[in-house]
Amino acid sequence: MIVSPCISICKNDPVTGYCYGCARNAEEIKIWKEKNTSEEWKRNNLVEIKSRMVGWQLNSFIDSYNYKVNNGISLFKKKKLNE
């Protein structure tokens, strides 16, 4: 199972429409939630969204997503819970 790229920073850029946290647009977020979405589509979408990010955004996403895959929670959500 491929884990959703949502890292709990759910704010969209008003110009691009991409989420600041995961770089998905509204349609991609919707497709991720559908039961019949294939693992292949999800793998390809992960590559695509990473290609939209650069620098600190990409590094932060990778760190938080990897943490989420291994621990079931994003770093941002973990920090919020610990406050």
45 closest CA partner among 57, 32, 54, 58: 32
Find, among 29, 8, 7, 5, the residue nearest to 17 by Cα: 29
| CB distance 3 to 68 below 8 Å | yes
pTM (2 d.p.): 0.90
- Between CA 48 and CA 50 the distance in angstroms is 5
Q: Is the pLDDT of residue 83 over 90?
A: no
Q: What is the pLDDT of residues 53-78, one digit of tens each?
A: 999 999 999 999 999 999 999 998 99
Under DSSP, the state recorded for 19 is B
